[in-house]
Chain A
């Protein structure tokens, strides 16, 4: 069949636990996906299939939702997702230079993941902290008033962290 059984079994317990925490109803799907993604920043086929079975909805529905919302990813992503705000308020106070600084420092382009699997660069729309634009969010941490120099400082905070 399409997915090896071992793969399906290995995620089953966790998925079922998350589904039961949130309620086995389709309305809980978004929160369920948030929770499932919390471990590795991405949603695997095996995980989504288990969600579909637990909620008794077609896998296509789950996949349709997972590919609609920008906070989810069905592709593997880095340990740290750097979401750079590209909206106009950040744009006009220097977001582009911040993007370039991240791209240069990490050696990847927007949408890519570093080869060591540590960082993924993504564009995001407004983070709602325009008072400190330009802003980025690294996993759950928000950084504001960024400049190319500060980008280097911010990344340095993650240096110690083992990928």
Chain B
């Protein structure tokens, strides 16, 4: 290892060349305060909170950016350093609304923590109000630029990670602030509503749109039958939102908690995830056998859908026509379930708990009302559910373990892994394999498509029985083989890479899974803050544990889905499916 030795506050430390002072200090257990720094984003070195003294340097240097060198002497805790840090934070506070108690990020605000930590007891500069317009037009997110402290993390995530670039620093000097071009609402531009900006904002300048009041009102209304579906990723993150260790699986406490809140039925989006696999798996096979548009692209992730509509409208034919599991669920809740339970769909309020801000947008898409009603009435993020549970005074850890309600609460491990990048692909492969080969899949784990690598790919060979093999290339023993090449991308910058390949005719895949957010839904814009690589990794691990612990691991084994087809839908891609479970997409302009 190319190592460098340096001294920080009198302590020697050895770190790899290329490390920053911040890295080296953390190795020594010295926690240098930071603000614009974010472990998953490019170094900006603009907030100047992490400044330290470096021997030989005339001025203080930002620890987050300054590279270590052999023999370097660093001091992180001198009067000079403390004064500079405190003054910097004071300067920010004097230009930031002083309404911490009413702020959504109260007690989870990095600026607030810093002020506390650095012992800021007074703000020496008079408060200057910015008086900028608050953007509340988006169904997904709310932006209050008055709270922006110009750390630019949102800019970085929006441009670099998502390749969207809806937000940018504008103006200069004291008037510098992050906003959308021409102060447009994010609802008017080609923002995909992924909410990654919400996750990285250290303060309350960007938050989800809070829809909890609508849910409280529905729950309080005796005329309403309020049902809830929980997305796969919620069971590995709501515990974290409520103070449990990251990656704690709390599926059965989640159901109990939702009943305590007063939901009439507690169902599972994993059920409709399984259903999605029936539909989407068959759609893929149909496209393969009829020369349909390939590669087929998954359509579960509404941020991704909005992205392709804005940025690659000419590739919309590649998208699976399947609605997302949330929307399939909603459509069935107000038809199949209403019939079964003898309810008037008008009285049903469908609430979904999602790790996602884009799901709020998706639920409001005009075409998402094939049941004759809005398929989904209210979407809450993980954070909003946490807020309701806290407000309701529910002692989450002390809850008993309870099951989901039947029949729409029955699911398989394949549904659960929809929550992680690669999960939809893996679930689909488990089913497609058995549909095509007619054989039982021995090892259901497709490790190649798991994990946090940006673009993952795999080739799966499906041995086909002779009868079905006509036209396919013959291999040994007279058994044909269908080779399926698949790719998985998460975060839109990687999706973009694959889209460019498709556009250039260079994508050799038949099936591609795209998830808008890094890591998939466990890293969605509605998840607990912080959501960094560390949290994502632990939540992914929990998702696969959830899968491994399920008695059924393949979507086509889901008995409730089988019953659904028998009782109501008929067959995959059938008429009823088309009416309720499939949709279409619209090209959107780039703004």
Question: Which positions in A face B, CB cutoff 8 Å?
Answer: 1-3, 45, 48-49, 53, 57-64, 67-68, 74
Contacts and interface: CB of A to CB of B under 8 A. Distances in A.
B172 interface: yes
A2 B310 CA distance: 13
A45 B181 contact: yes
Contacts of A48: 181-182
A48 B168 CA distance: 14
B169 interface: yes
A60 B180 contact: yes
Contacts of B589: 1
Interface string B154-182: 00000100001111111110000000111
Contacts of A67: 170-172
Contacts of A57: 165
A60 B171 contact: no
B168 A61 contact: yes
B188 interface: yes
Nearest to A68: B172
Given A2-B591, A3-B591, A64 B182 contact: no
B484 to A, nearest CB: 33
Contacts of B189: 2, 59
B184 interface: yes
A62 B181 contact: yes
A96 B591 CA distance: 43
Could you tell me the dominant secondary structure of chain B's interface residues? loop
A60 B168 contact: yes
B286 interface: no
A53 B182 CA distance: 16
Nearest to A49: B591
Contacts of B260: none
A83 to B, nearest CB: 17
B182 A68 contact: no
Given A2-B591, A59-B181, A61-B165, 5 more contacts: A2-B188, A58-B168, A60-B167, A63-B170, A68-B170
B576 interface: no
A53 B172 contact: no
B169 A64 contact: yes
B172 A60 contact: no
Could you tell me the dominant secondary structure of chain A's interface residues? helix
22 contacts: A1-B188, A2-B591, A48-B182, A49-B591, A53-B590, A58-B164, A58-B166, A59-B165, A59-B591, A60-B165, A60-B166, A60-B168, A60-B180, A61-B159, A61-B165, A63-B170, A63-B182, A64-B169, A64-B170, A67-B171, A68-B172, A74-B182
B175 to A, nearest CB: 9
Which of A48, A62, A63 has the most chain B CB within a 10 Å cutoff?
A63
Q: Which 3 A-B pairs have the closest CB atoms?
A: A58-B165, A60-B168, A63-B181
Contacts of B188: 1-2
B163 to A, nearest CB: 9
Interface string B175-197: 00000111010001100000000
Contacts of A58: 159, 164-166, 168
Nearest to B166: A60
Nearest to A56: B590
Given A58-B164, A59-B181, A62-B181, A1 B169 contact: no
Contact of A45 (B164, B170, B171, B182): B182
A45 B182 CA distance: 7
A68 B171 CA distance: 5
Given A2-B189, A58-B159, A63 B168 contact: yes
Contacts of A62: 181
Contacts of A3: 591
Contacts of B591: 1-3, 49, 59
A63 B167 CA distance: 10
A163 B317 CA distance: 53
A53 to B, nearest CB: 7
Which of A2, A45, A57 has the most chain B CB within a 10 Å cutoff?
A2
Contacts of A2: 184, 188-189, 591
A67 B13 CA distance: 45
A1 B159 CA distance: 22
A65 to B, nearest CB: 9
Nearest to A64: B168
Contacts of A63: 168, 170, 181-182
Nearest to B184: A2
A51 to B, nearest CB: 11
Contacts of A61: 159, 165, 168
A87 to B, nearest CB: 16
